[in-house]
């Protein structure tokens, strides 16, 4: 589990989200969007980690789908922060999209491996 690229990327993303949100709060005095982003951005990795301890394949898929929803929400908040001018570095948005793509692929693979 520790070597999972998805787990590593999602944790690094969560830490970056925390740093970015703290920077925006200090410099721009914005908290509504950043509070939402901290919640969704850190939830991605938490749900991925939970998936590794799922009780069943269905539980595993459900946790990954929750992570995917949180990732999509994070993408939205990042788009708002960037497009509104609160934040300008789009690389964090690129990382979010990369994680989203990995999650989509993981969910599809897990669903494809389900016993029918």
| CA distance linking residue 67 with residue 89, whole number of Å | 23
Which of 7, 39, 6 lies closest to 21, judged by CA? 39
Helix segments in 29-90, DSSP class H? 32-51, 57-83
pLDDT value at residue 3:
82
Q: What is the pLDDT along the chain (116 residues), one digit of tens a residue?
A: 568 999 999 999 999 999 999 999 999 999 999 999 999 999 999 999 999 999 999 999 999 999 999 999 999 999 999 999 999 999 999 999 999 999 999 999 999 965 54
For residues 1, 48, 15 and 17, what is the CA-based torsion angle, rounded to 10 degrees? Answer: 160
| CA distance linking residue 43 with residue 9, whole number of Å | 13
pLDDT value at residue 114:
56
pTM: 0.92
Contacts of 94 (CB under 8 A, 6+ apart): none
pLDDT value at residue 2:
61
């Amino acid at each position: 589990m520790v070597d999972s690229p998805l787990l590593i990327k999602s944790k690094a993303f969560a830490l970056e989200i925390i740093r970015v949100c703290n920077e925006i709060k200090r410099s721009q005095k914005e908290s509504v969007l950043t509070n939402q982003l901290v919640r969704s951005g850190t939830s991605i990795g938490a749900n991925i980690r939970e998936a590794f301890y799922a009780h069943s394949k269905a539980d595993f898929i459900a946790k990954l789908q929750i992570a995917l929803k949180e990732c999509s929400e994070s993408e939205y908040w990042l788009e708002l922060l960037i497009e509104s001018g609160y934040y300008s570095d789009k690389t964090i948005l690129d990382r979010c999209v990369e994680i989203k793509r990995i999650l989509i692929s993981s969910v599809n693979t897990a669903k494809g491996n389900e016993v029918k």
